[in-house]
Amino acid sequence: ATPTSIMVGTGRAAEMGVLFRKGDALQMLQEAKVVALDKTGTLTQGRPELTDLITAEGFDSDTVLRLVAALEAQSEHPIAEAITRAAAQKGLKSSEVTAFSSLTGYGVEANVDGRRVLVGADRLMAREGIDMGGLAETGDALGRKGRTPLYAAIDGKIAAAIAVSDPIKPATPQAIAALHGLGLSVAMITGDNQGTAQAIASELGIDIVVAEVLPEGKVAALEELRKRGKLAFVGDGINDAPALATADVGIAIGTGTDVAIEAADVVLMSGELTGVVNAFDISTRTMRNIR
């Protein structure tokens, strides 16, 4: 493509709310074979709601929710917000929290009202040696519905299986179909549970699922995908910045964090994935000199 056609393509993209920050991204994008998308906040709204709380024998659901919400009030994870919102709606009062710690990719723990409370993924319970009993299957079943299962433990005993559900953004299904129409393989990368990720992927027709990835593992997961051909990655979060820099073309959702936007080659003004399709389309047209 000539410098003029790249300028025209970049300008046309900008009119459609797609900002190419580098000319070579416009050239590179149409060479991509795989597009990998972050799940939370990219494919989904990133604003989950609490849907389930199933207690173990000997535990009362309001008590568990109150203790768990007090702990989550210290965390900034979207899951934490879903839980604190649910407790507030039920009018449950917060309690005193000490010795809080956040275990990235696992969950959170603290002392609440003098009790040791843990909330997080099954791998957190495994790591702490907590037997999940029959609630393990309860959580797996919630995962198969596309909800994210979490577990709460109180004083070393499993207390509840909890689930949150994060709605898929309205334009996500059409965007995935359009990317397939362009001949791309579509992958999803997430720190979320394997079963949950699989359920959402099959609902959306996503080809490749990489789940239970710790934040520091996203780059390695992308390097693996890159073996299939040139790779574009779409993300929104702080922990997506290294992945955005690693991909051949990093695409940030404009409604995402500043750190992600700074690390990206392409920025979408809208929060919907329609912009990803437009970006591919403009790249192809520019390189083939189609008007």
Piece of the chain touching Mg ion by CB under 5 A; list 88-96, 125-133, 174-182, 228-236: 228-236
Which of ligand ADP, Mg ion, none does residue 151 bind (CB under 5 to 8 Å by kind)? Answer: none
**Complex with ligand ADP: residue 13 or 225, whichever CB lies closer:** 225
Active site residue 140: no
From the centroid of its chain, how far is CA 140? 19
Q: How far apart are the C-alpha atoms of 55 and 71, rounded to whole Å?
A: 17
The yes or no reply on residue 191 touching Mg ion (CB under 5 A) is no
Least distance to ligand ADP from the beta carbon of 88, Å?
A: 16
Piece of the chain touching ligand ADP by CB under 6 A; list 118-126, 200-208, 216-224, 276-284: 118-126
Which of Mg ion, ligand ADP, none does residue 105 bind (CB under 5 to 8 Å by kind)? Answer: ligand ADP
Which of ligand ADP, Mg ion, none does residue 75 bind (CB under 5 to 8 Å by kind)? Answer: ligand ADP
Single residue of 18, 26, 65, 79 touching ligand ADP by CB under 6 A:
79
User: What sign does the CA torsion over 223, 224, 226, 227 have?
Assistant: positive
**Complex with ligand ADP: residue 31 or 212, whichever CB lies closer:** 212
The yes or no reply on residue 77 touching ligand ADP (CB under 6 A) is yes
Q: Which residue is nearest to ligand ADP (CB)?
A: 191
Least distance to ligand ADP from the beta carbon of 254, Å?
A: 19
Piece of the chain touching Mg ion by CB under 5 A; list 32-40, 74-82, 133-141, 226-234: 32-40
**Complex with Mg ion: residue 57 or 76, whichever CB lies closer:** 76
Single residue of 81, 192, 248, 265 touching ligand ADP by CB under 6 A:
192
Q: In what order do the strands lie in the sheet with 231-235?
A: 18-20, 266-268, 249-253, 231-235, 34-38, 185-189, 208-210
C-alpha distances (whole Å) from 219 to each of 123, 157, 197, 213, 243 are 21, 35, 18, 10, 5
Single residue of 17, 23, 105, 254 touching ligand ADP by CB under 6 A:
105
Single residue of 41, 146, 195, 275 touching Mg ion by CB under 5 A:
41
Q: Which structure tokens are listed for 18?
A: 């797609």
The yes or no reply on residue 215 touching ligand ADP (CB under 6 A) is yes
Binding residues for ligand ADP, per CB under 6 A?
39-40, 72, 75, 77, 79-80, 105-108, 119-121, 148, 150, 190-192, 215
Catalytic amino acids? Answer: 38
Binding residues for Mg ion, per CB under 5 A?
38, 40-41, 236-237
